[in-house]
Amino acid sequence: MARFLREQGMQTNEVQRCYGLLPAFLLAAAETGKALDLIELGPSAGFNLLWDRYAYRYRDERWGPETAPIELDGELRSALPVGLLAIRPVVRARLGIDLNPIDVTSAHGARLLRSFIWPGQVERQERLEQAIEVVRADPPRIVRGDYLEVLEPLLDKRSDVALTVVYQTASFSHLSSEQRQSIELILEKAGERGPLAFISGEHPPSDPAGYWQLRFRLWPGGEPRILARFDYHGRWLEWLG
Ligand SMILES: C[S@@+](CC[C@H](N)C(=O)[O-])C[C@H]1O[C@@H](n2cnc3c(N)ncnc32)[C@H](O)[C@@H]1O
């Protein structure tokens, strides 16, 4: 146990964060009319690379496959744009980049993620088990590496047939401010060369302790937008538009 605590960094992967991310994916698809090539920065076990396989409930509207093995429900604090939940994007490709991917197809990987959920958080534990089963049925591709190095060459090679969507939650908090600037610059330069979307769930600079903001950017030409506020575990979402 002492060695485990010394050697093992904190590792979580919260599938409920997709409740906050979904409207941004739908918006990216709606505004471009394209299929999506997903690149998640810091996906851990990859639960949030499979967001289109889950069902969602926003008040009395439902999104997702009829037979989805997980339904994510939360508190929607203000209405989503009319028609947004009618969008059904096609995900053409999905790829994660993580310094330390967690392989939940192994008993060890699943146990590791279980160990980072607090005792008594029964709903999170149940969702984790469901998400493990979804990954085990068809694991997304996750490459081991530092996205500060890997992302730029990947974006250079991207196809314009689909819209590449780069996104992150709870990973940029591991970066220094210089490293964050460097990622933003990589995205900015890549955006000047062709269509690209970026979605980030992160603490707003003005309120580091409270909720997250859903930051969204679409290139070419789009200005940065804050679409929503949401809970850092995806329990509620407040759409700002
Ligand atoms: C707290 S987990 C978040 C997992 C998932 N995004 C979520 O929201 O549930 C943060 C992940 O970011 C990864 N990470 C941090 N810095 C990274 C970097 N520079 N390159 C690749 N992965 C990184 C960590 O290894 C870890 O798996």
Task: Give the Å distance between the CA of 205 and the centre of ligand 1.
Answer: 20
Kindly state the helix (H) or strand (E) to which residue 58 belongs, with its residue range: strand 55-58
Domains belonging to the chain, first-starting first, are 14-103+140-239 (3.40.50)
Residues with CB under 6 A from ligand 1: 11-14, 17, 42-44, 48, 97-100, 146-148, 169-171, 174
3-state SS class at 51: helix
Residue owning the nearest CA to atom 19 of ligand 1: 146
The model carries a pTM of 0.97
Q: Which of 94, 98, 182 to mutate to test the pocket of ligand 1 (most atoms within 8 A of CB)?
A: 98
**DSSP state for residue 206 in the 8-state scheme:** T
Residue owning the nearest CA to atom 20 of ligand 1: 146
Q: How far apart are CA 112 and CA 114, in angstroms?
A: 5
Per-residue pLDDT 10s for the chain (241 aa) are 899 889 888 889 999 999 999 999 999 999 999 999 999 999 999 999 999 999 999 999 999 999 999 999 999 999 999 999 999 999 999 999 999 999 999 999 999 999 999 999 999 999 999 999 999 999 999 999 999 999 999 999 999 999 999 999 999 999 999 999 999 999 999 999 999 999 999 999 876 668 999 999 999 998 999 999 999 999 999 999 7
